Amino acid sequence: MMNLDGPKLQPPSPALLAAMLDVLGPKGFTTDHDIMQPWLTDWRGKYHGRAAAMLSTATTEEVAAVVRLAGDAGVALVPQGGNSGMVGGATPDASGAQLLMSLRRMNTIRSIDQGAQSVVAEAGVVLQVLHEQVEAQGLRFPLTLGGKGSATVGGLVSTNAGGTQVLRHGTMRALVEGIEAVLPDGAIFDGLAALKKDNRGYDLKHLLCGAEGTLGIITAARLRLVPAIAARITGWFGVASPESALALLRRLDSALGPELEGFEIIPQSCVDAVLAHIPGTRAPLPDHCGWHALVELAAISPDRADVLLDLATAAQSDGLVTDMVLAKSDAESNAWWRIRDSISEAERASGPAIQHDVSVPVDVMPHFIASNPARLNAAFPGARAISFGHLGDGNIHHHIQPPLGADGAAWIAEHGEAVSELVYRHVIELGGSLSAEHGIGQMKRDLLHRLSDPARIAMLRGVKTGLDPSNIMNPGKLVP
Amino acid sequence: MMNLDGPKLQPPSPALLAAMLDVLGPKGFTTDHDIMQPWLTDWRGKYHGRAAAMLSTATTEEVAAVVRLAGDAGVALVPQGGNSGMVGGATPDASGAQLLMSLRRMNTIRSIDQGAQSVVAEAGVVLQVLHEQVEAQGLRFPLTLGGKGSATVGGLVSTNAGGTQVLRHGTMRALVEGIEAVLPDGAIFDGLAALKKDNRGYDLKHLLCGAEGTLGIITAARLRLVPAIAARITGWFGVASPESALALLRRLDSALGPELEGFEIIPQSCVDAVLAHIPGTRAPLPDHCGWHALVELAAISPDRADVLLDLATAAQSDGLVTDMVLAKSDAESNAWWRIRDSISEAERASGPAIQHDVSVPVDVMPHFIASNPARLNAAFPGARAISFGHLGDGNIHHHIQPPLGADGAAWIAEHGEAVSELVYRHVIELGGSLSAEHGIGQMKRDLLHRLSDPARIAMLRGVKTGLDPSNIMNPGKLVP
Contact B436 A464 (CB under 8 A): no
- Min CA distance, B438 vs chain A (Å)? 7
* pTM recorded for the entire structure: 0.94
Q: What is the pLDDT of residues A187-227, one digit of tens each?
A: 999 999 989 999 999 999 999 999 999 999 999 999 999 98
H or E, element range at A136: none
| Whole-angstrom distance, CA of residue A308 vs CA of residue A233 | 9
CA-based angle A426:A427:A429, to the nearest 5? 65
Check residue A324 and give its pLDDT.
96
Cα separation of the two ends of chain A: 12
| Whole-angstrom distance, CA of residue A365 vs CA of residue A359 | 8
Q: Where are the beta strands (DSSP E) in B268-359?
A: 291-299, 321-326, 354-359
H or E, element range at A435: none
Residues B234 and B317: beta-carbon distance below 8 Å: no
| Whole-angstrom distance, CA of residue A110 vs CA of residue A430 | 44
| Whole-angstrom distance, CA of residue B66 vs CA of residue B330 | 47
Question: Which residue is closest to A394 within chain B, CA to CA?
Answer: B196
Q: Tally DSSP H helices, then E strands, for chain A.
A: 17, 18
Q: Which candidate, B327, B391, B324, B396, places its Cα nearest to that of B355?
A: B396
- Min CA distance, A399 vs chain B (Å)? 18
| Whole-angstrom distance, CA of residue B30 vs CA of residue B52 | 9
B402 φ, ψ (degrees, to nearest 5) = -60, 160
How many pairs of residues across A and B have Cβ atoms under 8 Å apart?
231
Q: Which candidate, B216, B440, B205, places its Cα nearest to that of A198?
A: B440
Residues A475 and A442: beta-carbon distance below 8 Å: no
- B347: CB partners within 8 A, 6+ apart: B270, B273, B353, B386, B399, B401
A12: three-class secondary structure by DSSP: coil
CB-CB neighbours of A4 under 10 Å: 15
- Return the residue in A113, A200, A256, A461 with the most chain B beta carbons within 10 A, the one to mutate for interface testing: A200
CB-CB neighbours of B328 under 10 Å: 9
- Min CA distance, B13 vs chain A (Å)? 27
| ipTM exceeding the 0.90 mark | yes
| Whole-angstrom distance, CA of residue A14 vs CA of residue A16 | 5
Question: Which residue is closest to B209 within chain A, CA to CA?
Answer: A202
Which residues does chain B have within 8 Å of residue A257's beta carbon, measured at their own beta carbons? 258
Indicate the residue of A207, A390, A440 with minimum beta-carbon distance to B207. A207
| Whole-angstrom distance, CA of residue B473 vs CA of residue B480 | 14
Question: CB-based burial of residue A3 (10 Å sphere; 0-12 exposed, 13-18 middle, 19+ buried)?
Answer: exposed
Question: CB-based burial of residue B5 (10 Å sphere; 0-12 exposed, 13-18 middle, 19+ buried)?
Answer: exposed
Contact A195 B359 (CB under 8 A): yes
Contact B199 A463 (CB under 8 A): no
- Min CA distance, B440 vs chain A (Å)? 6
pLDDT beneath 70: ranges in chain A = 1-8
| Whole-angstrom distance, CA of residue B438 vs CA of residue B398 | 13
Note the maximum CA span of chain B.
75
Bridge partners for A389 per DSSP: A265, A396
- Min CA distance, B118 vs chain A (Å)? 12
Query: How far is the CA of B312 from the CAs of B88, B255, B306, B318, B457, in angstroms?
Result: 42, 11, 10, 10, 45
Check residue B101 and give its pLDDT.
98
Indicate the residue of B212, B258, B363 with minimum beta-carbon distance to A257. B258
Indicate the residue of B197, B257, B469 with minimum beta-carbon distance to A395. B197
Single-letter amino acid, residue B262: G
What sign has the CA pseudo-torsion B426, B428, B429, B430?
positive
Q: Which candidate, B191, B188, B187, places its Cα nearest to that of B178?
A: B191
Contact B439 A199 (CB under 8 A): yes
Query: How far is the CA of A451 from the CAs of A426, A457, B407, in angstroms?
Result: 11, 10, 66
Check residue A3 and give its pLDDT.
45
Q: Please give the radius of gyration of chain B, using alpha carbons only, rounded to the nearest integer.
A: 23
| Whole-angstrom distance, CA of residue B50 vs CA of residue A188 | 40
Which residues does chain B have within 8 Å of residue A213's beta carbon, measured at their own beta carbons? none
Contact A459 B189 (CB under 8 A): yes
Question: Which residue is closest to A447 within chain B, CA to CA?
Answer: B200
β-pairing, B384-390 vs A395-401, is unpaired
Q: Which candidate, B121, B142, B159, places its Cα nearest to that of B42?
A: B159
Question: Which residue is closest to B360 within chain A, CA to CA?
Answer: A195
Tell me the residue length of chain A: 480
- Min CA distance, A80 vs chain B (Å)? 17
β-pairing, A384-390 vs A395-401, is antiparallel
Which residues does chain A have within 8 Å of residue B116's beta carbon, measured at their own beta carbons? 361-363
Which residues does chain A have within 8 Å of residue B395's beta carbon, measured at their own beta carbons? 196-197
| Whole-angstrom distance, CA of residue B36 vs CA of residue B54 | 6
Question: Which residue is closest to B429 within chain A, CA to CA?
Answer: A193
| pLDDT by 10s per residue, chain B, length 480 | 344 555 568 899 999 999 999 999 999 999 999 999 999 999 889 999 999 999 999 999 999 999 999 999 999 999 999 999 999 999 999 999 999 999 999 999 999 999 889 999 999 999 999 999 999 999 999 999 888 999 999 999 999 999 888 999 999 999 999 999 999 999 999 999 989 999 999 999 999 999 999 999 999 999 999 989 889 999 999 999 999 999 999 999 888 888 999 999 999 999 999 999 999 999 999 999 999 999 999 998 899 999 999 999 999 999 999 999 999 999 999 999 999 989 988 988 888 999 999 999 999 999 999 999 999 999 999 999 999 999 989 999 999 999 999 999 999 999 999 999 999 999 999 999 999 999 999 999 999 999 999 999 999 999 999 999 999 999 999 999
- Min CA distance, B343 vs chain A (Å)? 21
Contact A203 B173 (CB under 8 A): yes
